[in-house]
C-alpha cells in the first residue's frame, strides 16, 4: 500500500524532520562530535521509521517532489545571487586548483566504477552509474542519464539503479564529511570555538557571511523579504526558460540541469544589478532564504529515501558503492586536503568535497556548516566550494562522462 503525501503535508513533515534533527544533535554528543548535519540526523531517523512501517505493514509513502525541487532551485539561485564578480576574483588560484582537484577525482571515480563493474561481471556502464553519474552528479544527473542508457544501450533498470545509488551517495556524503574534517582538524590541534558570536546588523550584511554562519541572527524586513523573493522568482523563470531552450536546441551540446541555469541566472542578475544599476543587494535576506531552502531540500530528499530499495541492490553494486565511499575518504584526506594547503581551510574544503563528491552541493554546504559552527569560520571554503560544486562540476562531469561513454561503446 502506497500513501501519497501532498506538498502541504510534505512541507510539514520536512519541518518536523528538521526539528527532530536539531533536537538529536543537541542531545547526542556523538552527532556533535562527528559534525553530522541536522537534516541528515533527523532524516535518517525518519527513513528508518518509514522502513519499519514498510517491512511490518507493507505501507510506503510517496512524498510529492515539486517542493523539494523548488527548494533545491532556490538554494542554487541563492548561490548565484551571492556570487558577485569581485568575490569570484577573490577566489583566485585556490578556485582554479580546487576545480582541477575535483575534475581529477571525477576521472578516478569513473575508472574505479568501470573497473570494478568489469571485474565483477557487470556491464561497464553500470560502473558509470555507480560512479560520477550518481555520486558526483546526484539525482538530477542520474535522472538524465538513466533513460538514455535504457533507450540507447538497453541497460534495463538504469534509472532505478541511478536513483538508489544517488540516494546512497547523498546519505554517506553527509555522514563522512564531518568526521573526515574533524580528524584533519584534530591533527592541527585546533580547539572548538564559542558558538555564540555577537554581531551587529552592519556586520551581518557582509556577503562573506552567506551560508557560512547559518545560525547567525540577520535583521531583515518585510520589504526586503519581498524584494528577495522577486529575485528568486526571476532566477527560477530564467532557469525554466533556458532549460527548455537547452533541451530543444542544444540537447547534445549543453544539456545542463535546470539548477545550473538558475545559478547562472542568479550570477547574471546579481552582477547586472550591482554593476550597472548600482543596487545594494540585501545579502542577509538571500542568506536566510538560501539556508532555509538548503535544510528543507535535504529533509525532503531523506524523507523520500526508500531503504528497502537500497537493501535490494545487487551485492556487486553494493561493493562498488562501498569502495567509492572509502576512495572518497582517502582522496579527501590525502589529495584534497594536501593540495589545498594542509590548513584549517583545507580541512573544511575536504568536508565539502565529501559532500558533493558523493552526494550534492547542498550536502557539501551542510557538511561545512556543521564543521565551522564548532571550529570557527572558513571564508575560503565557503567562497570556492559552492561555486565549484554547483557551477563547474556539472560541466566537467558531463564532458568526462561523454568521453567514457564513447570509449566504452
Q: What is the pLDDT of residue 368?
A: 92
Instruction: For residues 191 and 258, give the distance between their C-alpha atoms in angstroms, rounded to a whole number.
Output: 41
Task: Kindly state the average pLDDT of the residues 156-168.
Answer: 79
Element (H, E) at 248: helix 222-249
Q: Most confidently modeled of 183-187, 280-284, 376-380?
A: 183-187
pLDDT above 90: residue 56: yes
pLDDT above 50: residue 377: yes
Q: What is the pLDDT of residue 309?
A: 66
Give the count of alpha carbons within 13 A of 48, CB side only. Answer: 7
Instruction: For residues 25 and 97, give the distance between their C-alpha atoms in angstroms, rounded to a whole number.
Output: 34
Q: What are phi and psi of 218, to 5 degrees?
A: -130, 125
Maximum Cα interatomic distance, the chain, rounded to a whole number of Å: 61
* Alpha helical stretches, state H, 120-153: 124-128, 138-153
Q: What is the pLDDT of residue 207?
A: 42
The pLDDT tens digits for 297-326 are: 888 888 887 777 656 556 888 899 999 999
Q: What is the pLDDT of residue 332?
A: 96
Identify whether the C-beta of residue 82 lies closer than 8 Å to the C-beta of residue 290.
yes
Q: Shortest CA distance to 213 belongs to which of 338, 384, 368, 15?
A: 368
Instruction: Mean pLDDT check: name the lowest of 99-103, 163-167, 319-323.
Output: 163-167
Which residue has better confidence, 236 or 161? 236
pLDDT above 80: residue 73: yes
pLDDT above 70: residue 383: yes
Task: Kindly state the average pLDDT of the residues 351-367.
Answer: 88
Instruction: For residues 91 and 94, give the distance between their C-alpha atoms in angstroms, rounded to a whole number.
Output: 6
Q: What is the pLDDT of residue 208?
A: 46
Which residue has better confidence, 279 or 139? 279
Q: What is the pLDDT of residue 206?
A: 43
Q: What is the pLDDT of residue 205?
A: 40
Instruction: For residues 409 and 397, give the distance between their C-alpha atoms in angstroms, rounded to a whole number.
Output: 18
- pLDDT band for 223, please (50, 70, 90 cuts): confident
Give the count of alpha carbons within 13 A of 381, CB side only. Answer: 34
Instruction: For residues 226 and 233, give the distance between their C-alpha atoms in angstroms, rounded to a whole number.
Output: 10
Q: What is the pLDDT of residue 196?
A: 38
Which residue has better confidence, 282 or 57? 57
Instruction: For residues 258 and 250, give the distance between their C-alpha atoms in angstroms, rounded to a whole number.
Output: 14
Q: What is the pLDDT of residue 319?
A: 93
pLDDT above 90: residue 159: no
Q: Most confidently modeled of 15-29, 248-262, 358-372?
A: 15-29
Distances (CA, A) of 312 to 54, 171, 316: 14, 17, 12
Q: What is the pLDDT of residue 112?
A: 96
Q: What is the pLDDT of residue 390?
A: 66
Indicate the average pLDDT of the chain: 84
- Residue whose entry in the numeric block shows the C-alpha cell 586548483: 97
Instruction: Mean pLDDT check: name the lowest of 105-109, 202-206, 244-248, 359-363.
Output: 202-206
DSSP helix/strand/coil, 5:
strand
Give the count of alpha carbons within 13 A of 334, CB side only. Answer: 6
Instruction: For residues 190 and 175, give the distance between their C-alpha atoms in angstroms, rounded to a whole number.
Output: 22
DSSP per-residue codes, 329-372? HHHIIIIIHHHTTSSHHHHHHHHHHHHHHHT-HHHHHHHHHHHH
**Total residues belonging to the chain:** 409
* Helices 158-188/38-57 angle, 10° precision: 140
Q: What is the pLDDT of residue 217?
A: 59
Q: The whole model's pTM is what?
A: 0.70
Identify whether the C-beta of residue 10 lies closer than 8 Å to the C-beta of residue 69.
no
Instruction: Mean pLDDT check: name the lowest of 144-153, 241-250, 325-334.
Output: 144-153
Q: Most confidently modeled of 55-69, 84-98, 228-242, 383-397?
A: 228-242
Q: What are phi and psi of 2, to 5 degrees?
A: -115, 125
Instruction: Find residue 4's DSSP bridge partners.
Output: 62
The pLDDT tens digits for 188-209 are: 988 887 653 443 443 344 444 5
Task: Kindly state the average pLDDT of the residues 70-74.
Answer: 90
pLDDT above 90: residue 288: no
Q: Most confidently modeled of 78-87, 299-308, 334-343, 382-391?
A: 334-343
Task: Kindly state the average pLDDT of the residues 56-71.
Answer: 90
Amino acid at each position: 500500500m502506497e500513501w501519497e503525501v501532498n506538498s502541504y503535508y510534505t512541507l510539514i513533515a520536512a519541518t518536523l524532520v528538521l526539528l527532530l534533527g536539531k533536537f538529536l544533535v543537541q542531545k547526542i554528543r556523538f552527532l556533535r562530535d562527528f559534525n553530522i548535519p541536522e537534516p541528515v540526523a533527523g532524516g535518517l531517523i525518519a527513513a528508518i521509521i518509514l522502513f519499519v512501517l514498510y517491512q511490518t505493514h507493507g505501507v510506503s509513502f510517496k512524498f510529492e517532489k515539486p517542493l523539494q525541487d523548488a527548494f533545491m532551485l532556490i538554494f542554487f539561485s541563492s548561490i548565484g545571487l551571492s556570487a558577485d564578480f569581485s568575490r569570484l576574483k577573490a577566489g583566485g588560484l585556490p578556485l582554479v586548483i580546487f576545480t582541477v582537484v575535483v575534475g581529477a577525482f571525477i576521472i578516478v571515480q569513473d575508472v574505479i566504477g568501470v573497473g570494478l563493474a568489469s571485474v565483477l561481471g557487470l556491464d561497464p556502464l553500470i560502473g558509470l552509474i555507480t560512479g560520477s553519474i550518481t555520486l558526483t552528479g546526484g539525482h538530477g544527473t542520474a535522472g538524465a542519464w538513466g533513460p538514455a542508457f535504457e533507450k540507447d544501450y538497453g541497460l534495463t533498470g538504469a534509472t532505478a539503479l541511478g536513483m538508489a545509488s544517488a540516494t546512497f551517495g547523498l546519505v554517506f556524503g553527509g555522514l563522512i564529511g564531518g568526521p573526515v574534517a574533524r580528524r584533519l582538524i584534530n591533527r592541527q590541534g585546533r580547539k572548538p570555538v564559542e558558538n555564540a558570536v555577537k554581531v551587529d546588523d552592519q556586520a551581518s550584511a557582509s556577503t562573506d557571511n552567506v551560508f557560512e554562519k547559518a545560525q547567525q541572527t540577520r535583521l531583515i524586513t518585510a520589504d526586503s523579504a519581498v524584494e528577495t523573493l522577486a529575485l528568486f522568482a526571476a532566477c527560477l523563470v530564467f532557469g525554466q526558460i533556458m532549460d527548455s531552450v537547452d533541451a530543444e536546441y542544444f540537447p547534445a551540446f549543453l544539456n545542463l540541469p535546470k539548477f545550473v541555469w538558475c545559478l547562472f541566472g542568479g550570477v547574471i542578475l546579481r552582477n547586472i544589478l550591482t554593476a550597472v544599476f548600482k543596487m545594494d543587494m540585501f545579502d542577509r535576506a538571500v542568506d536566510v532564504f538560501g539556508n532555509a531552502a538548503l535544510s528543507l531540500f535535504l529533509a525532503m530528499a531523506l524523507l523520500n529515501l526508500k531503504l528497502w530499495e537500497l537493501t535490494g541492490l545487487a551485492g556487486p553494486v553494493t561493493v562498488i558503492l562501498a569502495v567509492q565511499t572509502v576512495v572518497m575518504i582517502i582522496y579527501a584526506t590525502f589529495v584534497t586536503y594536501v593540495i589545498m594547503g594542509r590548513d584549517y581551510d583545507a580541512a573544511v574544503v575536504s568536508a565539502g568535497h565529501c559532500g558533493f563528491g558523493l552526494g550534492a552541493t547542498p550536502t557539501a554546504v551542510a557538511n561545512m556548516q556543521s564543521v565551522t559552527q564548532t571550529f570557527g569560520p572558513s571564508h575560503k571554503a565557503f567562497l570556492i566550494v559552492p561555486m565549484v560544486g554547483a557551477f563547474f562540476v556539472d560541466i566537467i562531469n558531463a564532458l568526462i562522462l561523454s568521453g567514457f561513454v564513447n570509449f566504452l561503446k
